[in-house]
Amino acid sequence: MLMMAEKANNRYFQTMNIIRSFQDYTTQYKASIANPEDFWAAVANDFSWRKKWDKVLQWDFHKPEVKWFINGKLNITENCLDRHLPERANQTAIIWEPNHPQDESKYITYKELLEHVCRVANMLKAHGVQKGDRVCIYMPMIPETAYAMLACARIGAVHSVVFAGFSAGSLIDRINDAGCKLVLTADGAYRGDKTINLKGIVDEALEKCPTVEKVIVAERVNSKPALKAGRDFRWNEEISKASADCPAVETDAEDLLFILYTSGSTGKPKGMVHTCGGYMVYTNYTFRTAFQYQEGQVYWCTADVGWITGHSYIIYGPLSAGATTLMFEGIPSWPDWGRFWHVVEKHRVNIFYTAPTAIRSLEKAPLSFVKQYDLHSLKILGTVGEPINEEAWHWYHEHIGQKRCPVIDTWWQTETGGFMISPIASVTKLKPAFATLPLPGVQPAVMDEKGNELTTNEVEGRLAIKFPWPSMARTIYGDHQRFKETYFSTFPGKYFTGDGCRRDSDGYYRITGRVDDIIIVSGHNLGTAEIESAIDEHSAVCESAVVGYPHDIKGQGIYAFVICYDKPHEEENLRNEIREIVSKIIGPIAKPDKIQFVSGLPKTRSGKIMRRILRKVAEGDTTNLGDVTTLLDPGVVDEIKNGAL
C-alpha cells in the first residue's frame, strides 16, 4: 500500500530515499554516513542519465578535488523538462505573478516551458553560443529569465546570472571574470512603483567588457532603448526566428552548469562553480525531502533568481521534481504590505519560502494586511539567508502558518548549492531559531579556534563540513588557489563555512552568523573589503573601515568609519556622496546606513585594523572594548567612542 501511495505521489522518486518519519530520517542519515556512495547512487538512479557513472565519488579535501558521478552523462534540462512530458505535459510548471497586481498572471505548462527553452536555446545558438561558452543573464524576474537559464543548460553553455539590483561596476567585474560572450538582458525591470533601466546599465558596463560580442534585449517595460547596430538584438524578433525544437546537448556530470558570484571577505567576488550531475541530484533531493513536496502542490520561493536560492529552489530543484513553482516579479511592500498574502491566496500556495529580513519587515506592518487574506492553503513555511530571531520565527509560525505549518529554517550557502542543515517538514521536531539537524549525507563538525573538532554536544565554535556532498562548489572560476585558501585551509581536510554555530544538548545546530568579514544585509552577502574599496573611491576619502551592526529589519546594517584628507565641512553632503558612490560601484544594497567621520582607526602596530573594537562601537557597546593597549594609537579609540552614531 505504501509503495503504491508513494508511486502515486511521484512517479520518479520511488521508495528508497523517501523520508516520512523521524525513524526514517535516523535510519537514512546513518546509512548516508556509513555508505555515502551507495546512498547517493540510489538517489541518482531516479534520474534520466544518458550514461550512468563509472564511480560515484572521488575526493581529496587537501587538494581540494571533488567529483561526483564520474563519467556520468546527462542533460539537466531533460530531467527538468522532457522526462515530465508523458505524465505532466499540461501541468503548470511555472506560475508567474507580475509586479502590478492588476496585470495578468501567466501559467506555463511543462510542454510550453520546454518549447520556450528550446526557442531560446536555438536563439543562442544562432548567435554563436556553443557548449562551454559563458552567458551573462542580467534580467528581471520574468519567465524569459527562467527560459534563459535552462536554455544555456540545454546547449551546455554556462550561465552567470547577475542580480538585476547590481550596478554597472559589479556587472563589469562579473562579466569580465567569467569572460562572457553574450549578455541577455531586458529593456528594464519593475520594482514596485519604480522602473530600473537595465539596458542603460548594460550599455555602461559594456564599455569595459571586451569579451561580450552580443546583447539580446527582452521587452518588459516598453522603454524602447537604443540598440547598438551589430551588437544588440531584440529578443522578440530573434525568438520569432527560432524553432521550438532543440536537442539537448550531452554534458558530463562534472561539466560546468553555472557560475554564480558571491562576496568574499577580501578582494573581488568569487565565481562559485557548480556542475551538472551532483547539483541536479542534490537540489532535487533536498527540495523533495525538506519541504516534503507532494504532487500537485503549489510552491513559492520569494528569492530572486539572481541568488543561489533562486537557482536551486525556484528553478532546478522544483522543476526537476515536476513541481509547480511560482515566480514573483514584485516586492512585499507594494502596492501595500499585503502583497505576499494576496499572492498566496490568489494562487493557493501550499509551500512558502522566504527570508527572515522579509518576515521582520512584514511583521512591522499592521496585522490587518495578513488578516484580509485566506491563507488556509499554506502547509509548510521555510526561511533562508540569515539567522532568524525567535520573535520573527514566532510571528511567522503564528500569523502566517496559523500554528499549523512547520517552519523550516534551512541553513546553506551559495557554495553548498543546496540545504545542508534543515528540519524536514513535519518530521523533525522544531526549535525556534535552530536549523536543527544535518540532512542525510551532511557531516558537520564544530571546531574550536585552535582547529580541534568539538565532538560532544553543548558546544559552540566554527562550522565545518567533513565530507563532500554532491552539490558542493567545485572551485572558484579561474582561481582554484583562492578556493583552497578560503575554504580548505582554516581546518585542513575540512570545508570551512565561515559561519559560527552552537550545538545544543539535543545535537541541534543553531547558526550564529558569520565569523569572517562578510556581512549579511537583508539576506545579501557583502564583503566589508568590497564596500571599503568603493568608499575609498571618493576623492575626499583617505581610508575607511566597514563593520556590521544589528539592525531591526535588515538583520545587519552597514556602519562605515571614514577618514578624510581634510575635516569635512558639510558632513551630511559628504555622507550622501559616499552612499551614491557605493551605490554606483556595487549597488544600492551596499549603501552604508551609518557613516562616522574619524581622524584615525584603531590599528595594531603591524597595521591591522582591530575590527573587534569597531564592531563594539557600532553595536553601541562602548563600555567594554577589551584591551586597547596594543594599539598604535590608543587615543583614537576615545574619539571614535565619543563620536559614535
Binding site for ligand WTA (CB under 6 A): 262, 307-309, 384-387, 409-414, 435, 497-499, 511, 514, 520, 525
Residue with smaller CB distance to ligand WTA, 122 or 497: 497
Shortest Å, Cβ 362 to ligand WTA = 17
Give all strands (DSSP E) within 414-522, no chain letters.
444-447, 453-454, 459-465, 475-476, 495-503, 509-514, 518-521
Shortest Å, Cβ 356 to ligand WTA = 8
Tell me the C-alpha to C-alpha distance, in Å, between residue 147 and each of 73, 123, 155, 300. Answer: 22, 11, 12, 18
Q: How many helices (H) and strands (E) does the chain have?
A: 22, 31
Shortest Å, Cβ 138 to ligand WTA = 18
Residue 447 near residue 461 (C-beta atoms within 8 A): yes
Shortest Å, Cβ 511 to ligand WTA = 4
Shortest Å, Cβ 409 to ligand WTA = 5
Residue with smaller CB distance to ligand WTA, 119 or 503: 503
* Nearest of 264, 319, 397 to residue 85 by alpha carbon: 319
Shortest Å, Cβ 644 to ligand WTA = 26
Shortest Å, Cβ 630 to ligand WTA = 29
The residue whose grid cell reads 573594537 is: 613
Listing DSSP states for 267-336 in one string gives: SSPEEEEEEHHHHHHHHHHHHHHHHT--TT-EEEE-S-TTSHHHIIIIIIHHHHTT-EEEEE-S-TTSS-
What does the block give as the cell for 417? 548549492
> Residue 350 and residue 375: Cα distance in Å, rounded?
9
> Residue 386 and residue 556: Cα distance in Å, rounded?
10
Shortest Å, Cβ 308 to ligand WTA = 5
* Nearest of 465, 277, 303 to residue 384 by alpha carbon: 303
**Sign of the dihedral through C-alpha 46, 50, 54, 58:** negative
Residue with smaller CB distance to ligand WTA, 293 or 412: 412
Element spanning 1, H or E: none
The residue whose grid cell reads 545587519 is: 556
Residue with smaller CB distance to ligand WTA, 330 or 385: 385
Q: How many CA atoms lie within 13 A of 275 on its CB side?
A: 24
Phi–psi pair at 200, nearest 5 degrees: -60, -40
Residue with smaller CB distance to ligand WTA, 17 or 410: 410
**Sign of the dihedral through C-alpha 420, 425, 427, 433:** positive
Shortest Å, Cβ 568 to ligand WTA = 34
Element spanning 578, H or E: helix 571-585
Strand-pairing partners, residue 499, are 514
In three-state form (DSSP H/G/I as H, E/B as E, the rest C), the secondary structure along 506-565 is CCCEEEEEECCCEEEECCEEEEHHHHHHHHCCCCCEEEEEEEEEEECCCEEEEEEEEEEC
Shortest Å, Cβ 358 to ligand WTA = 13
Residue with smaller CB distance to ligand WTA, 239 or 420: 420
Cβ-proximal residue to ligand WTA, closest one: 414
Torsion-angle region of 565 (φ positive above 0: left; ψ -120 to 50: alpha; else: beta): alpha
Residue with smaller CB distance to ligand WTA, 135 or 511: 511
Shortest Å, Cβ 110 to ligand WTA = 27
Tell me the C-alpha to C-alpha distance, in Å, between residue 91 and each of 5, 107, 491. Answer: 20, 9, 47
Shortest Å, Cβ 583 to ligand WTA = 20
Residue with smaller CB distance to ligand WTA, 363 or 516: 516
Residue 582 near residue 536 (C-beta atoms within 8 A): no
Residue with smaller CB distance to ligand WTA, 112 or 499: 499
Shortest Å, Cβ 503 to ligand WTA = 14
**Sign of the dihedral through C-alpha 559, 527, 622, 603:** negative
For residue 581, the SS3 value is: helix
> Residue 344 and residue 215: Cα distance in Å, rounded?
36
Residue with smaller CB distance to ligand WTA, 77 or 410: 410
Residue with smaller CB distance to ligand WTA, 504 or 577: 504
Shortest Å, Cβ 487 to ligand WTA = 11
Residue 144 near residue 186 (C-beta atoms within 8 A): yes
Shortest Å, Cβ 584 to ligand WTA = 23
Residue with smaller CB distance to ligand WTA, 307 or 340: 307
Residue with smaller CB distance to ligand WTA, 88 or 462: 462
SS percent in the chain: helix, strand, coil, step 5: 35, 25, 40
The burial of 377, by beta-carbon neighbours within 10 Å (0-12 exposed, 13-18 middle, 19 or more buried), is given as: middle
Residue with smaller CB distance to ligand WTA, 58 or 266: 266
> Residue 306 and residue 489: Cα distance in Å, rounded?
29
Beta strands 92-97 and 324-328, pairing class: parallel
